């Protein structure tokens, strides 16, 4: 595994070479190797809603994952079959990932705030044959199960419903011995769906090399791991790349205990308490969470064990950076990446000066450029589209069942991000705007077309156009321009009904916080919504 960098940024970048193992399996890299070497080493501190903490060692996780792998195989799941994981931060979510990697199946992590429409699309598109969930999320799966002919079996970790398999009871009957299937770095490991501006979300397929691909960026923004006494926590859901690949995977691989806890709603006082209770030293905190924490009363100076905090998804700005220095006693390291290729830039206050407004410099193993509309490289200091050269282990294998979309993502040797920005003479990358219409709100990437489709399914809506608008707390907020169906009348009650409709059918982070009723929408000659005009309205 890629360890801490030595010397200056320039030296680390120049010396770096990607490892080229013939065999690589995430289950071994994350857990199996530690289970063999230090079986009782703690991997997870699981904090329940009741305040009780359950610790999980690497050996306990490894044995339980072996039992799940044997169970899944006995129930018919095969190599490269897809299995959904609809769980919050908990031991069972880790066990599910490990089991699927052991048997060379493909994990499909799903956000627990997704509504029925979002879940149905992802389960149907991926062809998931099995799903693992909990009692809180089970009703959503049961409501759409008859529309998913490929979904053969649903496991529940804490419920007992007719037609649903009891997770722990099934595992208790299985052997805790399992020989990990030999996989290569390029064998598929998981699908993470990413929102786009046109059409439904696309599934970014990543290989077993994805952990290796993230380690250079992690070593940058966490200023070297592991260090003695390190403990990590993130409020980011493990269904997203930020929670899964920026925190959970690299922490487990380097032997750092991870605090597993998902708040129903982010509570800054509770977040401060977690930092103190578990002596958290490192973590990824999304910008919106940091803004909320800034507004709350921080613990007394010297009472926190923090040494490095990373942040990504939207620019922090100088005020939040200064708050981090004054209140937390550190410089928050911003980083940048996408679901398709993550952690391609990062800041590291220990290795290089941090420039306010910059997302850092290219992480070792990654080569960046700014392109014009024709795909030509622009000179330093010139605004254009940020692009990443092919080759890093962090880059996706392709979009699931979408070779056309995969091809369109690239221009020659460059993967185009769809983000506008510039790179200065020293290689610092500055983000300026989305080249497309994806909305980044509180660190979540929201595809406007999904929200539009959800809104137009409401009987009172004829058409809808969705854009992001500036929001002091979230960076952007979702705003919907709605053309009413004949006979419908715009009212505050209807606004609330539409918001509730999107929350229930799509997700609670995608609903429009602003709704404006309009007579018509600006359209192109081919009938596409001109979102730029809506933003400028």
Number of other residues whose CB lies within 10 A of the CB of residue 460:
18
Q: pLDDT digit string (tens) for 350-386?
A: 899 988 889 999 999 999 999 998 999 999 999 899 9
Whole-prediction pTM value? Answer: 0.89
76 band by pLDDT with thresholds 50, 70 and 90: very high
Mean pLDDT of the chain: 93
Distance CA 34, CA 41 (A): 8
Please check whether residue 89 is in contact with residue 262, taking contact to mean a CB–CB distance below 8 angstroms.
yes
pLDDT at 526: 47
> If you average pLDDT over residues 106-116, what whole number do you get?
95
Task: Calculate Rg over the CA atoms of the chain.
Answer: 23
Q: What are phi and psi of 151, to 5 degrees?
A: -80, 100
Q: How buried is 533 (Cβ within 10 angstroms: 0-12 exposed, 13-18 middle, 19+ buried)?
A: middle
CATH architecture observed for domain 442-536: 2-Layer Sandwich (3.30)
Please check whether residue 112 is in contact with residue 86, taking contact to mean a CB–CB distance below 8 angstroms.
yes
| DSSP string over 341-378 | B---EE--TTTSPPPTT---EEPTT--EEEE-TTSPBP
Helix segments in 395-481, DSSP class H: 403-408, 448-456
pLDDT at 154: 98
pLDDT at 447: 79
Q: pLDDT digit string (tens) for 182-207?
A: 999 999 999 999 876 556 899 999 99
The four Cα atoms 358, 363, 367, 368 give a dihedral, to 10 degrees, of: -20
Distance CA 495, CA 500 (A): 9
For tokens 């040797």, the residue is: 413
3-state DSSP helix/strand/coil percent for the chain, to nearest 5? 30, 25, 45
For tokens 């979702």, the residue is: 478
Q: Residue by residue, what is the 3-state secondary structure of 27-60?
A: HHHHHHHHHHHCCCCEEEEEECCCCCEEEEEHHH
Distance CA 385, CA 417 (A): 7
Please check whether residue 241 is in contact with residue 22, taking contact to mean a CB–CB distance below 8 angstroms.
no
pLDDT at 524: 59
For domain 25-183, the question of CATH label 3.40.50.12780 is answered with yes
Which of 479-483, 502-506, 531-535 is the least confident region? 531-535
25-183 matches 442-536 in fold:
no
Q: pLDDT digit string (tens) for 216-261?
A: 999 999 999 999 999 999 999 999 999 999 999 999 999 999 999 9
Distance CA 76, CA 74 (A): 5
Please check whether residue 109 is in contact with residue 206, taking contact to mean a CB–CB distance below 8 angstroms.
no
287 band by pLDDT with thresholds 50, 70 and 90: confident
Domain boundaries, the chain: 25-183, 442-536
> If you average pLDDT over residues 276-292, what whole number do you get?
92
- Does the structure show a pLDDT above 60 at 323? yes
Please check whether residue 37 is in contact with residue 237, taking contact to mean a CB–CB distance below 8 angstroms.
no
């Amino acid at each position: 595994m890629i360890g801490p960098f030595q010397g200056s940024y320039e030296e680390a970048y120049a010396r770096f070479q990607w490892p080229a193992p013939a065999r690589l399996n995430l289950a071994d890299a994350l857990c199996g190797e530690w289970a063999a070497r230090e079986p009782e080493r703690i991997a997870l501190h699981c904090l329940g809603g009741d305040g009780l903490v359950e610790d999980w060692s690497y050996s306990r996780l490894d044995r339980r994952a072996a039992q799940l792998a044997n169970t899944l195989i006995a129930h018919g799941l095969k190599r490269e079959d897809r299995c959904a994981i609809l769980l919050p931060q908990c031991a069972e979510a880790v066990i599910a990932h490990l089991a699927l990697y052991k048997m060379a199946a493909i994990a499909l992590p799903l956000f627990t705030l997704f509504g029925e429409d979002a879940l149905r699309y992802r389960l149907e598109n991926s062809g998931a044959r099995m799903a693992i969930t909990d009692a809180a999320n089970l009703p959503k799966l049961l409501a759409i199960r008859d529309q998913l002919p490929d979904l053969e079996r649903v496991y529940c970790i804490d419920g007992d419903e007719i037609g649903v398999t009891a997770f722990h009871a099934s595992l208790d009957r299985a052997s805790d011995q399992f020989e990990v299937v030999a996989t290569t770095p390029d064998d598929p490991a998981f699908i993470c769906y990413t929102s786009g501006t046109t059409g439904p979300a696309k599934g970014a397929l990543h290989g077993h090399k994805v952990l290796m691909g993230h380690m250079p960026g992690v070593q940058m923004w966490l200023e070297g791991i592991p260090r003695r006494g390190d403990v990590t926590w993130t409020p980011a859901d493990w269904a997203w790349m930020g929670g899964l690949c920026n925190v959970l995977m690299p922490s487990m691989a380097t032997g750092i205990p991870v605090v597993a806890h998902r708040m129903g709603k982010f509570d800054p006082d509770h977040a401060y308490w977690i930092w103190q209770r578990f002596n958290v030293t490192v973590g990824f905190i999304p910008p919106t969470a940091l803004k909320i924490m800034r507004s709350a009363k921080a613990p007394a100076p010297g009472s926190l064990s923090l040494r490095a905090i990373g942040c990504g998804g939207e620019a922090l700005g100088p005020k939040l950076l200064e708050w981090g220095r004054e209140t937390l006693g550190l410089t928050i390291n911003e980083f940048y990446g996408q679901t398709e290729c993550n952690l391609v830039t990062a800041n590291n206050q220990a290795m290089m000066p941090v420039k306010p407004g910059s997302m850092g410099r290219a992480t070792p193993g990654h080569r960046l450029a700014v392109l014009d509309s024709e795909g030509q490289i622009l000179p330093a200091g010139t605004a254009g589209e940020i692009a990443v050269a092919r080759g890093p282990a962090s880059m996706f294998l392709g979009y699931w069942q979408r070779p056309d979309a995969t091809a369109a993502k690239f221009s020659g040797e460059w993967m185009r991000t769809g983000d506008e920005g510039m790179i200065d003479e020293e290689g610092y990358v500055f983000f300026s705007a989305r080249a497309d219409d994806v909305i980044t709100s509180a660190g979540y990437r929201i595809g406007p077309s999904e929200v539009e489709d959800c809104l137009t399914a409401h009987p009172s809506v004829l058409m809808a156009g969705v854009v992001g608008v500036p929001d002091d707390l979230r960076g952007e907020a979702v705003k919907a321009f709605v053309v009413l169906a004949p006979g419908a009348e715009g009212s505050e009650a209807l606004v609330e009904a539409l918001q509730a409709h999107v929350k229930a059918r799509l997700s609670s982070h995608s609903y429009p916080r602003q709704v404006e009723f309009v007579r018509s929408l600006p359209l192109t000659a081919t009938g596409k919504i001109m979102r730029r005009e809506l933003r400028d309205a």
